[in-house]
Amino acid sequence: QVQLVESGGGVVQPGRSLRLSCAASGFTFSNYDMHWVRQAPGKGLEWVALILFDGRSEYYADSVKGRFTISRDNSKNTLYLQMNSLRADDTAVYYCARVLGGGVWAFDIWGQGTMVTVSS
């Protein structure tokens, strides 16, 4: 079945780095734009980053621009989020999400999320 599975979360000190992965299965990963969305504890959803299906373009929220890098390996059906210079306000559950497609950019498939805690 169509599935996204995140991994790589954990507890990290402020200023350090972490890389998240999102493994896709059940669909042709290389055909879809992919996003990262995060949710701080008890808060709402915040869009983080987008990468187009072919990896040629990326977009970022202002809050992470210059610190986070989204990438993908279509040969491995995997999406990544490299997070550098982490801050306490980056603490959140991070979800990867697939775009519905067909000219509709809503997110139809979500992973279960991976928790990132930035704390000394």
Partner 1 sequence: EIVMTQSPATLSVSPGERATLSCRASQSVSSNLAWYQQKPGQAPRLLIYGASTRATGIPARFSGSGSGTEFTLTISSLQSEDFAVYYCQQYNSWPYTFGQGTELEIK
Residues in contact with partner 1 by CB under 8 A are 35, 44-47, 50, 59, 61-62, 95, 100, 104-108, 110-113
User: At closest approach, how far in Å is the CB of 25 from partner 1?
Assistant: 16
CA-to-CA dists, residue 68 to 63, 74, 84, 89, 114, angstroms? 9, 20, 6, 14, 16
User: At closest approach, how far in Å is the CB of 5 from partner 1?
Assistant: 11
The residue (of 15 and 28) whose beta carbon lies closer to partner 1 is 28
User: At closest approach, how far in Å is the CB of 47 from partner 1?
Assistant: 5
Q: Are 114 and 20 in contact (CB under 8 A)?
A: yes
Q: What is the DSSP letter of 26?
A: S
The residue (of 41 and 120) whose beta carbon lies closer to partner 1 is 41
The residue (of 35 and 72) whose beta carbon lies closer to partner 1 is 35
Q: What is the DSSP letter of 55?
A: S
Q: Are 37 and 45 in contact (CB under 8 A)?
A: yes
